Amino acid sequence: MWWIFPLPFVSSCPVVKTFGKQFNLLRCDMNKEKPQAIDPSTSACVIPPALPKGDLHKLMFRYSEQEAQEIGDYVEWQAHGEETVLHAEKVASERVMGHDHDVWDIHTDKGRWWVITNPTNLYSQELMPSLDYTLSFHIGLMARVAARRELDGSDAEREFVLVTSRKLLQAGEALDAADEAEEFQAVGMRCRECLITFIRELADGFDFGAGDDPPKAADFPAWNDLIANTVAPEASMEYVRGYLKTTGERAWRLVNWLTHAANATSADAHLAWDATAHVVANYTRAVLKMKAKAPDQCGRCKSFRVRVDWRPDLGDEGMYVARCEECGAQEHPASDQIADDN
Ligand SMILES: [Zn+2]
């Protein structure tokens, strides 16, 4: 049996000398690939060589090859292939506010990293040598990211009303920072501006058949009626049309009231922002579906899981394309039927 001392004990260390009387030690010779067992009675105490990093995992008690592989792949992906992982070791696991975070010590051919999971992020050990400090930093950072406002809807929907999305996000951030009545009123103004911008963007992106006499740009109620009548025209859609009209009209009245409400509260401002975001989400989804000529049901597999993707690689300026999430079939706007993508 070989006993291996992983720490670089100095040759004068009395502990090593004591052990050396009982066990064979390994000669520290960095020029030789294989350490050689020596007789302690005829030799001085020696420093054991460092183990090759690629073999360290063989000596680890708790080791999941699958987990280590995933973390290693993550680090190499983050390093854009410029570093190769030599060793991955889980060194800690901590539960904070009900979430488990594993901490990995990663050795690459160029340096060392901490990788902390859930969600996964990596930190240079050169810049952040303390594991405890890095874990605290990670949890704080992730809490802030989780608190950041994000809009509902798909990438294609946000792309379709890009300016509105930006304004809505800014209104939400202003809401998060607001403490006083006038700041809540300012949120109302931002929401009002958002709805007017939204109408303009929708009218630019889709023909609502307003002809030569469209409503004025700032006449939200008139546009609200026109859009609801366009996206839900059939008699069978009476309740859908009614809901869209009512929510649009009520949201418009609410944000207008908020801009002048001297006693506005945080709850009022939240309600106005939620109402605005709801109207934007409803109409964007419906109008985009019409623009992409997306069917309710896939013509190939009959699934209702049809979504609209934004494809900047198609056409001169990009294109919205309906795609079945179930079978992958896509509908090109120029074609009449869903075609097999393959
Ligand atoms: Zn399908």
Q: Are strands 99-108 and 112-116 parallel, antiparallel or unpaired?
A: antiparallel
Conformation bin of residue 239: beta by default, left when phi > 0, alpha when psi is -120 to 50 = alpha
Q: Are 93 and 66 in the same domain? A: yes
Q: Are 186 and 140 in the same domain? A: no
Q: Is residue 55 part of a domain?
A: no
Residue 298 CA, ligand 1 centroid: distance in Å: 5
Residue 249 and residue 228 in contact, taking contact as beta carbons nearer than 8 Å: no
Among 268, 291, 314, identify where a domain stops: 291
Q: Are 284 and 299 in the same domain? A: no
pLDDT of residue 237: 94
Residue 323 CA, ligand 1 centroid: distance in Å: 8
Q: Are 286 and 160 in the same domain? A: yes
Residue 304 CA, ligand 1 centroid: distance in Å: 8
Q: Are 143 and 195 in the same domain? A: no
pLDDT of residue 40: 55
pLDDT of residue 127: 93
Among 131, 147, 163, identify where a domain stops: 147
Q: How many domains does the chain have?
A: 4
Alpha helices in 123-265 (DSSP H): 131-147, 155-160, 162-177, 181-205, 220-231, 238-260
Residue 296 CA, ligand 1 centroid: distance in Å: 11
Measured CA to CA, the distance from residue 336 to residue 342 in angstroms comes to 17
* Maximum CA extent, the chain: 105
Q: Are 159 and 106 in the same domain? A: no
Q: Consecutive sets of 10 residues in the chain, 342 residues long: mean pLDDT of each?
A: 41 39 41 55 70 72 77 92 91 85 93 92 94 92 78 85 94 92 96 96 89 88 95 94 97 97 94 96 94 90 89 84 86 50 40
Q: Are 166 and 244 in the same domain? A: yes
Q: Are 94 and 163 in the same domain? A: no
Residue 301 CA, ligand 1 centroid: distance in Å: 4
The angle, 0 to 180 degrees and rounded to 10, between the axes of the packed helices 181-205 and 220-231 is 50
pLDDT of residue 62: 62
Residue 300 CA, ligand 1 centroid: distance in Å: 5
Residue 332 CA, ligand 1 centroid: distance in Å: 14
Which residue range(s) make up the domain with 331?
295-342
Residue 295 CA, ligand 1 centroid: distance in Å: 11
Residue 287 CA, ligand 1 centroid: distance in Å: 22
Residue 143 CA, ligand 1 centroid: distance in Å: 38
pLDDT of residue 315: 82
Q: Are 161 and 278 in the same domain? A: yes
Q: Is residue 56 part of a domain?
A: no
Residue 303 CA, ligand 1 centroid: distance in Å: 5
pTM for the predicted model, two decimal places: 0.60
Radius of gyration, alpha carbons of the chain: 32
Q: Is residue 274 part of a domain?
A: yes
Residue 229 CA, ligand 1 centroid: distance in Å: 29
